[in-house]
Chain A
């Protein structure tokens, strides 16, 4: 089966610019996650969707970050305006519905964002 697809792979922008990332989860996976991985740290959850509804966005900096999952399939994560500290790898992951506890998450290759 096809894995989690993310684009772009790399992005360099200047601070105060905007940027958007795209994720297409594994077909049939109801739960979608966006994680931020800063160099030297483990991935940190930004937002979690169940179908097209938000389950957890408590760690999403809502003054500059936004995300949507229209139609419950693919998702976009946007940063506007970007700050230097947003430089990180943004990982998208998905899991099937109904087995949230014991099912591993499947990750995309990530988008490496550099803000200069």
Chain B
């Protein structure tokens, strides 16, 4: 079965410091990987995706993610965190093109302090 793990419930960083939100996946086949962000009382907003090619993917708001096939990971990173980055982050995976839906991790709360 396909699955996504986000091992940290919460990540705390100081503003200006780099941040990493971890994600690992378990799939059979080649994965398509996604990161979404959710602000309070809002839907999920797409940040970035890995399809193929360059393992370092750049997305919205200065976020980037690194795909590592050997470690089956897709960690979200940002060189310098902002207080406004504080939100709930979800990693998701899709395998195949037969109309399969995204499978989400449980989410990681990012808290950036000033």
Contact = CB atoms under 8 A, between A and B. Distances in A.
Interface residues of B, number: 27
Interface stretch (B11-19, B62-70, B92-100): B92-100
A31 B49 contact: no
Interface residues of A, number: 27
A101 B46 contact: no
Nearest to A9: B41
Interface string A98-115: 001110111111101000
Contacts of B46: 104-106
Contacts of A116: none
Contact of B43 (A4, A48, A55): A4
A101 B94 contact: yes
Given A42-B106, A110-B43, A100 B100 contact: yes
A56 interface: yes
Given A41-B106, A42-B104, A42-B106, A107 B97 contact: no
Interface string B21-49: 00000000000101010000111111001
B90 A43 contact: yes
Considering residues B43, B46, B99, which has the most beta carbons from chain A within 10 angstroms of its beta carbon? Answer: B43
B83 interface: no
